[in-house]
Amino acid sequence: MDINKWEIFEASFEYNHAGDPFADVTLSARFTRGNRTVSADGFYDGGGVYKLRFMPDHEGLWRYETISNAPELNGLSGEFNCAAARADVHGPVVTDGTRFVYADGSDYYPFGTTCYAWSHQGDELEELTLETLKAAPFNKLRMCVFPKRYDFNHNEPPRYPFAGNKKDGFDYSRPDPDYFKHLELRISQLKDLGIEADLILFHPYDDWGFSTMPRERDLGYLRYVVARLASFRNVWWSFANEYDLMTSKTTPDWDEFFKLVSAADPSGHLRSIHNCRAFYDHSKSWVTHCSIQHSDLFRVPDWIKQYGKPVVVDECCYEGDIHHLWGNITAKEMVNRMWIGFSRGAYAGHGETYMADNDVLWWSKGAVLRGESPRRIAFMRAIFESIPGRTEPASGDHGEHSGLRAGEDYYLLYYDDRQQRIKKLIFPEDKKYRIDVIDAWECAVTRLGGTYGGRCEIPMPGKPYQALRATRI
């Protein structure tokens, strides 16, 4: 059997356990290629079936052997060949200093959006969301494992993550396999669209007790989720949305969750935790990158410096017109904030909260995008993905404003909502550059005539949302 690199190997074992199939039976396997061995936990998938999943990250022959406290599941072995990755598959996203890259080394700039509860809306809306995403500029999506109860979110989800029901209560020790199969379907559909699933494991907007489970149930839930989902290359672990609003959990709890997932995940997916107000200490070793809610993108360099990790500002307010402060910035300001964040070396994300008669707002339920920012974000993504190679911050000597540079070969400088008619820049005296004026709102690139070098004045159009791109000749 051949499994392409970064796809999912799955083995199923039938075993009808007389007692509690979740609590009583342990299952894991050692996956070995050459002298490298990786452990992966299995999980109970209902109907008397146990499963093992694994995402091979190296080509060649992999062997596995199971370990279980059930003799029928213990010592089972098998093998598969890991073939080359399929075309256009670059592997999971990993960090590289304060940047992200795909595992194959190719660039990854996260252009994220948020649809917290999109996978809890029923097939019709969920499929509409997927259709929308197909044409949208996003390659990362924040979404919750658990359903959500909040403003504009008063519909009951079609299914629940645990056995039981709202009236009689839930048995948090018994995950509902169908619930997770549905979640996996949605995650794999995102994978097919090239979208990273930034999976929120806990959140405070709860009506079912999932945010206040006993500690032991939290841990069991995390182990189950990792066993099921770690083989999806597009999964990121986001331990919480607004962890600081979840008063029933403490910092040691979050630390423990991080450590558990770090140890259990054979694929080492990205790990972060998102704040409302106070930041978690992103410098802790188990945090791979910062996931930040903050409206001031000019502060990005401080955070990069402080944490030395990639900085994703997942919430810098959303384009929309609701009464909440976090959800009523203009499309221009949404795009502007994303440009500021990216031009300062971070990654700011999109969200959309326009009021709707049916209470279907993109930020939570998905469906359709109605705002003016997405097409500008598509343009922006093309600009950033065309950056040749790696960049470093270029504030200071090249303009007071936000900027990136690649040595002395390339500069991308953004001037946010300012409307200057000229910009004074100082390039190396012995080098020549072509300059493009980029209108981030009108999505236009205008190449200036002639070449520039040394101390020069660049004519600008005297309106907001302009960037300059200087490319060495």
- The residue ranges that bind a copy of itself (CB under 8 A) are 320-323, 325, 328-330, 333, 355, 400-401, 417-424, 457, 462, 464
Q: How many Cα atoms sit within 13 Å of 67 on the Cβ side? A: 8
The least distance separating a copy of itself from the CB of residue 43, rounded to whole angstroms, comes to 44
Cβ 363 vs Cβ 320: under 8 Å: yes
The least distance separating a copy of itself from the CB of residue 417, rounded to whole angstroms, comes to 7
Contacts of 281 (CB under 8 A, 6+ apart): 287
Token pair 């007071």 is at which residue?
Answer: 400
- Go through 176-186 and write b for each residue having 16 or more CB atoms within 10 A of its CB, e for each that does not: bbebbebbbeb
The least distance separating a copy of itself from the CB of residue 205, rounded to whole angstroms, comes to 19
Write the CA distances from 377 to 138, 305, 435, integer angstroms: 8, 26, 22
> Tokens for 80?
């598969």
The least distance separating a copy of itself from the CB of residue 377, rounded to whole angstroms, comes to 18
Nearer to a copy of itself, 122 or 459 (CB): 459
The least distance separating a copy of itself from the CB of residue 207, rounded to whole angstroms, comes to 22
Cα–Cα distance for residue pair 114/277, rounded to 1 Å: 18
Nearer to a copy of itself, 212 or 328 (CB): 328
Write a three-state SS string for 97-121.
Answer: CCEEEECCCCECCCCEEECCCHHHC
- Give me the phi and psi of 291, to 5 degrees please: -120, 110
The least distance separating a copy of itself from the CB of residue 329, rounded to whole angstroms, comes to 7
Nearer to a copy of itself, 181 or 421 (CB): 421
Helix (H, G, I), strand (E, B) or coil at 134: helix
Nearer to a copy of itself, 166 or 421 (CB): 421
Helix (H, G, I), strand (E, B) or coil at 286: coil
Nearest to 53 by CA among 42, 64, 45: 42
Nearer to a copy of itself, 175 or 371 (CB): 371
Nearer to a copy of itself, 246 or 329 (CB): 329
Write the CA distances from 456 to 127, 424, 451, integer angstroms: 52, 6, 10
Cα–Cα distance for residue pair 454/456, rounded to 1 Å: 6
Token pair 């000749």 is at which residue?
Answer: 473
The least distance separating a copy of itself from the CB of residue 355, rounded to whole angstroms, comes to 5
Nearer to a copy of itself, 68 or 402 (CB): 402
> Tokens for 190?
């995102």
Nearer to a copy of itself, 401 or 472 (CB): 401
The least distance separating a copy of itself from the CB of residue 338, rounded to whole angstroms, comes to 16
